[in-house]
Amino acid sequence: MVAPQLNVNFAGVRFKTPVVAASGTFGFGREYGELFDLSRLGGICVKGLTVKERHGNPPPRIAETPMGILNSVGLQNPGADVFIEKELPFLRRYDTTIIANISGNTVEEYCELAEKLSEARVDMLEVNISCPNVKAGGLAFGTTAKSAALVTEAVKKHSSVPVMVKLSPNVTDITEIARAAEGAGADALSLINTLLGMRIDIETRRPVLKNNTGGLSGPAIFPVALRMVWQVSAAVKIPIMGMGGISKAEDAVEMLLAGASLVCVGTALFSDPLAALRITEGIGAYLERKRLDSVSQLTGKVQPYQL
């Protein structure tokens, strides 16, 4: 039997495998590159980029929780210009797809980032709309359909590469936001971002995180992420990159069946730096066992009960 095809055409961009390293957990790949050949990854979604350098939130900003972690790192990064000058050339040494994750406090910042990174010839943009809109009293762009569409439409006008919008789960109806992004021209969607959470030190009676709250990721959120990907895949026609608690090949297969075309591995990399490679191999083994020719044959093939 011929080995199953793992490559995916995603919004016009070719991925060698369906497994991508998630933004915020992989940095710019240098540390992981000391452990394995980054060309073995389907793609790398780099750490979130802003217009100017950001030092992030004060510590403590990471806390373990049962089956996951809370983080309030605060988008620490060197800024888009430094990324383009120093980090992108390093990443281009490898045969893998590069996705630039961008964040802004205003629509104008998103547009500036889209122009710079498009000109630098990254393969795709991932637009993080979970950032606060300073012109709307700090309300995150991704919490209303109107603001999500506003950012998406603006970024599309300033980007020469495909635009993927990253959706927040901290909303009443994620399908409404998904449809708004699609209607505004998004080429693809990624979901879910972290769930808002909190821990308290009962001895000091203070929050464990200096920022008081943080984003929850890891296996604990997987069922929520899976449900949201399933719902969104039924609501839109553009492709989806699914993420949120994927830690083994079986999780990835579930996410593909729910409607994702690609999967992102994030928090699992902290405990197992080779998790993405292990998951890729597991997907291939599953395809062989089920006698499937291509990973694309899994996407959206869940058969829900009709009640």
User: What is the tens place of the pLDDT at every residue in 22-66?
Assistant: 999 999 999 999 999 999 999 999 999 999 999 999 999 999 999
Calculate the CA 240 to chain-centre distance.
Answer: 10
* 305 located within any domain: no
Query: In this model, does residue 137 exceed pLDDT 60?
Result: no
* 106 located within any domain: yes
Range of the domain at 212: 8-297
Confidence of residue 130 (pLDDT cuts 50, 70, 90): confident
Residue 66 backbone dihedrals phi, psi, to 5 degrees: -55, 120
* 307 located within any domain: no
Query: In this model, does residue 131 exceed pLDDT 80?
Result: no
Residue 140 backbone dihedrals phi, psi, to 5 degrees: -65, 140
Q: For residue 46, what is the domain's CATH number?
A: 3.20.20.70
If you count them, how many residues does the chain have?
Answer: 307
Per the annotation, the verdict on 45 as an active-site residue is no
List Cβ<8 Å contacts ≥24 apart for 130-136.
130/166, 130/168, 130/170, 130/193, 131/75, 131/103, 131/104, 131/105, 132/105, 133/105, 133/106, 134/105, 134/106, 135/106
* 3 located within any domain: no
Structure tokens at 161: 């590469």
* 27 located within any domain: yes
* 1 located within any domain: no
Those residues with Cβ within 8 angstroms of residue 277's Cβ, 6 or more apart along the chain or in another chain: 36, 40, 41
pLDDT, one tens digit per residue, over 232-266 is: 999 999 999 999 999 999 999 999 999 999 999 99
* 141 located within any domain: yes
Pick the catalytic residue: 45, 111, 131, 264?
131
Query: In this model, does residue 140 exceed pLDDT 90?
Result: no
> Considering the chain, what is the average pLDDT of its residues?
95
* 147 located within any domain: yes
The total number of structural domains in the chain stands at 1
Between the alpha carbon of residue 32 and those of residues 82, 94, 97, 249, 291, the distances in Å are 20, 13, 16, 20, 33
